[in-house]
Amino acid sequence: MHISEGFLSPQAIAAGWAISAAGVAWGLKKMDSGKIVRVSMASSVFFLASLVNVRIGPGSTHLSLIGPIGLILGWTAFPAIFTALLLQAVLFQFGGLLVLGPNTAVMAVPSVMASLFWGPAVRSGNAKIAFAASFLAGSAPVLLGTVIVGAFFLASDRELAVAAKTIFLAHLPLAAIEGTAALFMTLFLRRTFPDILRGVDRT
């Protein structure tokens, strides 16, 4: 879901940077020394998962795992995702530095939403509820990210509406894949490292 440079208006870019700056600042405030390793590992997972990019007009599609990352990190997903996107922009020219703010918002906002909306159900003692919530926590953020991309596009140029629809449709199968991945990741964590899911600061 990287947005390429040259398509967003200055106002959309400014809005994206404002959202990202606030999220990163709040995430850093929530990140104590005990969370640094977890944030670093999650940032590395995101960096590697999203390396394979498929261009779709002014955007791209790729595996991201932003749902599971949000479940594990909560608000600290913002600095984790920002760091990974910064390295991708510098090393591989994915997206670009100018649109780093909007791209962070596109992926970090849905990641945090996964923790806020589905985190409690994922940590539920009812396994069926937890697994259903895990799938939604993995799939819904992908689609929410495309909606945010569409909002940035429409705020920049109404003619990008077709591109926004194309990106949304292209991410439907990816959402199912990410939901399944989140389900298996949660199943593994609940059995082996349940404290990772229970330790998220959700405030």
For residue 121, the domain's CATH number is 1.10.1760.20
> Does residue 203 fall inside a structural domain?
no
Distances (CA, A) of 2 to 88, 145, 168, 198: 10, 10, 13, 30
How many CB atoms are located within 10 Å of the residue 119 CB?
22
Residue 114 forms part of a structural domain: yes
The answer to whether residues 86 and 79 touch, using CB atoms and an 8 Å cutoff, is: no
Is residue 53 scored above 80 in pLDDT? no
Number of domains in the chain: 1
C-alpha distances in angstroms, 199 versus 72, 116, 120, 134, 195? 8, 13, 12, 16, 6
The residues, any chain, with a CB within 8 Å of residue 50's CB and separated by 6 or more, are 2, 62, 63, 64, 84, 88, 94
Q: Indicate whether 2 belongs to any domain.
A: no
What range defines the domain where residue 77 resides?
10-198
Distance separating alpha carbons of residues 41 and 62, to the nearest angstrom: 19
The residue with greater pLDDT, 57 or 196, is 196
Q: Which of 30-34, 54-58, 98-102 has the highest mean pLDDT?
A: 98-102
> How would residue 202 be classed by pLDDT, with cut points 50, 70 and 90?
very low
- Cβ–Cβ < 8 Å for 197, 123: yes
Read off the pLDDT of residues 79-102 as tens digits, 9 standing for 90 and up.
999 999 999 899 887 778 999 999
Element (H, E) at 42: helix 36-49
